[in-house]
Each structure stands twice: as structure tokens, then as C-alpha cells.
Amino acid sequence: MFRTISGPVSAWESQLPAELLRLPEELARVDVLLDDPVFFAPFAPYFHPVLGRPSTPVECYLRLMFLKFRYRLGYESLCAEVSDSISWRRFCRIGLDGRVPHPTTLMKLTTRCGEAAVAGLNEALLAKAAGAKLLRTTRVRADTTVIAANVVYPTDVGLLARAVGKLVRAARRVQAAGGATGTVMTDRRRAATRRAREMAATMRARAKLGRDETSRAISRTTGDLADLAQAAAAQAAAVLRNGRRALPRALTGRMRGRLRQALAELAVTIERTATVVAQARSRLAGQMPDGATRLVTPTRGRSARAASTNQSSSGTRPRCWTTTTASSWTTPWSMVPSRTARSWSPPSRGSPAAPGACPPRSPPTAATARPPSKKTCSLPGCAP
């Protein structure tokens, strides 16, 4: 049964001195804010208005959750601190002779209401702040926290090895749930791990092996892993097909739900594995996979698309096509601004030059004379 407020205060508790009844300044402001019944509405759909055992009052639950997140306490620590503090008891609307809710009760309420109730609380708080002209809703600023972390970029070998392992685990989960128990699913995880280690050893010894031999070893290992992943995907597809046939014959509802969930996970894994295998084979064939944006080859020389269009290979930032790595960024000469955009500072002697004109030249002497250059100034009226 849904309850919003607690019972009345006992008679002897009302006789306590005023010093014990006074709340801290911060808790007093929050207490006045949470007295609004608009904060009770998001919890109403999760309880019956009449039937059932009386629930924990929503005003008590809201204040307990505020203390939990304000002071970063766990459920057990929160209940212990509220039981030991008179001011926190009064803030949570729990009498001195009342019982603090058990930690598991708070956990169950949080799980039962979920994120929908929290979203409703945020909307109610935003509307209340906008109504009190404490917040301008025309502009909302969002603040994010950025945490530095080590980033490992995915490779074809790593993705294929992980795909093989995930296929085996998903297929075994389907068979454990009672589907396709007689279908063969070979465990190829050790073979995939061995080839991934071979790749790591090849990359460590690439300085001794040379570029050509390293490229051949990488292509050979990637092809072997693609074959393993394709074979594992074929057997997983047979497990998926036979498992779907066994779904109507599942005995209980719980087993049927487990089998249906395992089959859905296996279907997604097979689809993603096929995409990874197709991308790896496209790279091995020297083609650009679908959905890829990297148009620069790691070897020296222009890529096919950049050479044909004589433009940069990136639409947002020019990328160099003569570097041996894809992490170097340079600006092609075609993107350098014209010299007409520069302005020369006036010389220290003589008449001041106009903006955009070349500085005056002194006539060449026999000692300083140089052969004429093919380059000329592009400014109008500037003599070579």
C-alpha cells in the first residue's frame, strides 16, 4: 500500500527542548523543499493505493536517499548513522521511538522504482526551480567529468580472437539451457589464442624480420584467425538453428526464458563475427572495408583515392599521404593560404609601404647579384 507521509509525532517527543529539535541549516532547506507533494507522484505507479502491506513512507525514503548520496554512505552505514543521530532522525521523519528501515528494504525500493522514478524527480525539481525563477530553462548547461584512461585500439587479430571465444561461450550457454545439445561445437579458443600470441611475437621482432617478412606474417596470422572465426560461426549457426527448433519443447517457463535469451545473444554474436571477418578479409585483399574512414595506407606512397582526386583523404582535416604511419598530420600545399593574405610591416626607413605590398628592394650590386629565379611575387605591381 502506498504511503506518502509518516505518522504523527509522539506526545513525549514534542516536549523535547528546542535545541534538540533544530535541524542544521542545509538539512532545514532541503526539508522544506522535499515537503512538496509533487515529489511523491513519481513513486505512485509502483504501489497499490489500497491493497498490500503499508510501504515505507516516500518522504522518509527520499530523505534517506538524500543523506546517502550527499555524504556518500552505503545502505548499512546510512541506517546506522540515522539510528544514532537525533537530527538525522528528525530530518528523515523517523520518531525517536520508531525503527529505521532495514538496508535491504531501501535496496528493494530502489530496485523496484528504478531510473524512471529518478527521472520523474529530476523533472519535478527542474520545474520547481524554473517556477521559483532560480533557473532559466531556455539554456541548460551540462557538465561532464573526463577521466584519463589507457586506450587500446582494436585490431583485426584481437577482434577475431575475441569473436571466436565469444561464439564458443554463447553456443555452450545455449546447450546448457537445453537447446541443440547434440550439435557439435568445437572449442577453438586455444588455437585463436596461440595465433594471437604469434602475432605479438612477430610485432616484437619486426625490427629483425624486416618490413616484407613482417607484413607476410601478419597477413598469414590474420587469415588463419579469419578461417577459425568463420568455421566457429558456421558451427554456431547450426547450434542456433537447432536451438530454435527445441524452443517450443522447453519444459518450464524459466528454462524457456533462459534458452530464448541465450539464442538471442548467439544470433547477435554470429552477425557481428561475420562483419569482423568480412572487414579483415577486405583489408587482406587491399580493399577498403565498408564503413571505414581511413583512406591512407600504412606504407609509403599515396592511397588510390587520394591519388585519383589529388586531394586530402580526410574531409575535416588534411592528412599526409607520404608518411609511413597514419598518425602524422600535415597540410598539403594546395591548402596553404595565398600570399595575398599577408601584410608586410613597413620598413624602418623610407616611405611606408602599403599593406599587402612587398618591401622596397635595394638595387643589386656586383657582389650581391644572383641569377634570376623562376619564382615571382604574386602581388600586383610588384616587380621581380
DSSP letters, 248-262, are: GG-SSHHHHHHHHHH
User: Is 294 domain-assigned?
Assistant: no
What gap in Å lies between CA 117 and CA 122, rounded to an integer? 9
User: Is 335 domain-assigned?
Assistant: no
User: Is 273 domain-assigned?
Assistant: yes
Q: What share of the chain is helix, strand, coil (3-state, %, to 5)?
A: 55, 0, 45
The 10s digit of each residue's pLDDT in 318-333 is: 333 333 333 333 333 3
Residue 127 and residue 162 in one domain: no
Go through the chain and tell me how many residues it has.
384
Contact predicate 136/157, CB 8 Å: no
3-state secondary structure 176-191: HCCCCCCCCCCCCHHH
Residue 114 and residue 175 in one domain: no
Q: What does DSSP assign to residue 293?
A: -
Tell whether the model's pLDDT for residue 250 goes beyond 70. no
Contact predicate 232/160, CB 8 Å: no
Residue 114 and residue 198 in one domain: no
Structural domain containing residue 172 = 156-284
Rounded to two decimals, the pTM is 0.41
User: Is 363 domain-assigned?
Assistant: no
Q: Taking residues 68-84, what's their average pLDDT?
A: 91
User: Is 259 domain-assigned?
Assistant: yes
What total number of domains does the chain contain? 2
Tell whether the model's pLDDT for residue 311 goes beyond 70. no
Tell whether the model's pLDDT for residue 230 goes beyond 90. yes
The 10s digit of each residue's pLDDT in 193-208 is: 999 999 989 888 888 8
Residue 160 and residue 127 in one domain: no
Q: Taking residues 8-31, what's their average pLDDT?
A: 80
240-274: burial string, b at 16+ Cβ within 10 Å, e else: bebbbebeeebeeeeebebbbebbeebbebbeebe
Q: Which residue has the higher pLDDT, 279 or 138?
A: 279
Residue with cell 547450426: 238
Which backbone phi and psi does 319 adopt, to 5 degrees?
-120, 140
Residue 27 and residue 107 in one domain: yes
Q: What is the mean pLDDT of the chain?
A: 75
Domain finish residue from 284, 304, 333:
284
User: Is 252 domain-assigned?
Assistant: yes
What are the CB-based long-range contacts (under 8 Å, 24+) for 78-82?
78/103, 78/106, 79/103, 79/106
Distances (CA, A) of 112 to 87, 206, 225, 364: 29, 56, 45, 90
Q: Which three cell numbers stand for residue 13?
A: 517527543
Domain finish residue from 284, 302, 337:
284
117-138: burial string, b at 16+ Cβ within 10 Å, e else: beebbeebbeeeeeeeeeeeee
Residue 115 and residue 197 in one domain: no
User: Is 357 domain-assigned?
Assistant: no
User: Is 94 domain-assigned?
Assistant: yes
Residue 21 and residue 126 in one domain: yes
Tell whether the model's pLDDT for residue 54 goes beyond 90. no
pLDDT on residue 39: 87
Categorize the per-residue pLDDT at 138 as very low, low, confident or very high, splitting at 50, 70 and 90.
Answer: low
Residue 127 and residue 170 in one domain: no
The 10s digit of each residue's pLDDT in 119-135 is: 888 888 888 888 877 77
Residue 122 and residue 162 in one domain: no
Residue 105 and residue 217 in one domain: no
The 10s digit of each residue's pLDDT in 140-158 is: 667 677 777 776 678 889 9
Around Cβ 73, how many Cβ atoms within 10 Å?
A: 16
Residue 180 and residue 271 in one domain: yes
Domain finish residue from 67, 98, 131:
131
Q: Taking residues 223-244, what's their average pLDDT?
A: 93
Tell whether the model's pLDDT for residue 378 goes beyond 90. no
Contact predicate 90/67, CB 8 Å: no
Residue 173 and residue 76 in one domain: no
What gap in Å lies between CA 277 and CA 225, rounded to an integer? 9
Angle (CA) 1 40 114, round 5°: 80
Around Cβ 222, how many Cβ atoms within 10 Å?
A: 20
